[in-house]
Amino acid sequence: MKKILVAIVLIIIGFPFFLKNSPALEQEIPLHNESVHNGELILVNKETKLQQDPTNLAVIPSNLASNVVVDSEYLLEKKVIEPLQKMFEQAANDGIHHFKINSAYRSGNLQQQLYEENGASYALPTGYSEHQSGLSLDIGSTQGTMEKTLEGEWLAKNAADYGFILRYPKNKVDVTGIAFEPWHFRYVGLPHSVMMEKKNFALEEYLLFLKEKRHYKKQIKGITYYVQYVENMEVAHIPNTDQVNISGDNHTGYIITSVIN
């Protein structure tokens, strides 16, 4: 009897917390036109092949920011360019002035050429490189290698605030299967980048976390995000909002990110 009473008390205490962290899901959105192989959170690695080429590429402007050298016609998904610009502008405000973009989107043909000419230690075969997604870029410093410069230090500390992650950290080689690359940054968007940094997750670990947890709420700089992971559904129920983003994971599920009041 005592155990039952304790359980009831815990339920009573925890129920308001559950309500607080689970907004009413009053809005229905269709998923049948969405693809699990498209979006900011798709996984591309040695075991998981890119299934869809990017469809909305744009040229990174040569005048992107005063502290960045862009000396080739590099492409990225269009939605990535604005947060990238804001990130560099903030770095300039913080006194960091010597960035250089060294690579961004690569076509399948170029990726295969790099693989065949330089080997697996330099590039992955076509279909298995994040560069083909249009969501990744290599950022360098004109002052030296990234792990030894202020540019690399600043990005490691601040990139997550703008939706970017250091895709291949030194302490996650066993997870990613890729050696430390302090120059390779991947856009995943907010709040995902911040949550990954907080929990010290590589993208592979974060997607597993989402599949297990299924939903969470996160506030960043006054904006509240509600994140849901769903599988095998033609419709999903989300909070009432007109700000929603749907991304596949490149496997079987969707990550739905809503901005709520």
Q: 26: buried, middle or exposed (CB in 10 Å: 19+, 13-18, 0-12)?
A: exposed
Residues 6+ apart with CB under 8 A from 98: 67, 141, 142, 143, 149, 150, 151
181 has catalytic annotation: yes
Per-residue DSSP letter, 144: B
Q: Which of 147, 181, 197, 204 does the annotation list as catalytic?
A: 181
Long-range contacts, 239-246 (Cβ 8 Å, 24+) = 239/23, 239/24, 239/25, 239/26, 239/27, 240/24, 240/26, 240/27, 241/27, 244/29, 245/39, 245/40, 245/189, 246/29, 246/31, 246/34, 246/39
**Cα–Cα distance between 102 and 10 in angstroms, integer?**
55
d(CA 196, CA 256): 16
Query: β-strands 235-238, 27-30: how paired?
Result: antiparallel
Reduce the DSSP state of residue 55 to 3 states and report it: coil
Active site amino acids: 181
